[in-house]
Homo-oligomer: A and B are copies of this chain.
Amino acid sequence: MKQIFNLTIALAFSIHFGIAQTNSTTIVEDFKPSPVNQPGKEFPQVNSEGRVRTQISAPNAKYVQLDIGGVKYDLVKDENGVWTGESAPQDVGFHYYQLNIDGASVPDPGSLFFFGANRYGSGIEVPSNDQDIFALKDVPHGHVHEILFPSKSTNTARRAYVYTPPGYDKESSKRYPVLYLQHGYGENETSWPNQGRANLIMDNLIAEGKAKPFIIVMTYGMTNEIKFGGLRDFDIKPFQTVLIDELIPYIDANYRTLANQENRAMAGLSMGAFETRLITLNNPNVFSHYALFSGGIYRPDELKEHKNLKLVFLTCGSKERPDGIKNAAAELQKAGVNVASYISEGTAHEFHTWRRSLHQLAQILFK
């Protein structure tokens, strides 16, 4: 398969789609509260099949639905006006969802809220056999700094999150490599530290000695205020200016970075992969490690002038287009590029694919 991942495919990838599933007649009754519930909330819950069950009091509602993975599931009212119901089994990992109450699409007040689909809304965590990689453990923890950096090109102070590895604030002279890590379409700079759990993935890997400590910088990538569906007219220049001319200099001036190409990487998911691809190709002397999660590939001829390239890393979920990734990696390897690829088993275009992708990338970055 020689398929080239172009903008059209990146676009298709950026739409979160679900597969309609009918409820089976038997439901395994081992539901537990989701770990990303609001404090003290019993619902939503998830069972061992990956079904999501939620509950809300709405005594005067005509109907209440659980809207997840592109499917709306009807809830049933009891004698106290409390509605309860569940979805078909979902893939492991994190999913965005909403409630629909008599036609109003609203967040479920039981869950914590996450930015995705261009809004803060509800999220659910379906247990996975590798959830340990982002668990909160008794290990030294890095810090996640919320910063406001000056941006002349957009005439404002822009927000970014900066992960510094454990001990960074204790040290006074040690310098670190930096990964610039981008979210997807409809997400924002909170998505990687919140639902992506980037900081906990790193804390755990560093504690196990599996990753070299590095800084991660996450900022908002939709600089040109593109509207829904406007990705076709996407212009990389506004964000490229913010990243290359404003954010990188701010980070190098304010953090103890190794401020050179050899120690600077860029990665992104979905639309963020598309941005990573364009920005790294436009700026062959800025980054030395390029990673695309669920959002495209590099062709060997595109990388001919990239003399200081150390690593290309391509990933996606097994429910996406894994052959495209594998074939692209084979082509790059044949052309002498140091390339690695990773397919996330059993997941689609969702955050569990990208948490795993970061977990893999971190173990080979800056080595």
Contacts and interface: CB of A to CB of B under 8 A. Distances in A.
A165 B170 CA distance: 17
A143 B141 contact: no
Contact of A106 (B101, B103, B254): B101
Nearest to A121: B109
A64 to B, nearest CB: 7
A131 interface: no
A106 B109 contact: yes
B109 A99 contact: no
B58 A60 contact: no
Interface residues of A, number: 52
A213 B289 CA distance: 38
Contacts of A112: 120
A217 to B, nearest CB: 12
A143 B157 CA distance: 12
B58 A101 contact: yes
A142 to B, nearest CB: 8
A28 interface: no
Nearest to A156: B136
A271 B172 CA distance: 37
A230 B57 CA distance: 24
B254 A60 contact: no
Interface in A120-142: 120-121, 136, 138, 141
Contacts of A305: none
A107 B157 CA distance: 28
Interface string A242-273: 00000000000111000000000000000000
Contacts of A162: 143
Contact of A148 (B39, B57, B141, B173): B141
A297 B222 CA distance: 49
B253 A104 contact: no
B118 A103 contact: no
Given A107-B109, A109-B119, A172-B172, A101 B144 contact: no
Interface string A14-48: 00000000000000000000000011100000000
Interface of A: 38-40, 56-64, 81, 99, 101-107, 109, 112-113, 118-121, 136, 138, 141, 143-150, 156-157, 162, 169-170, 172-173, 188, 193, 199, 253-255
Top 9 closest A-B pairs, CB basis?
A: A58-B104, A141-B148, A60-B102, A61-B102, A59-B103, A60-B103, A144-B146, A106-B106, A143-B145
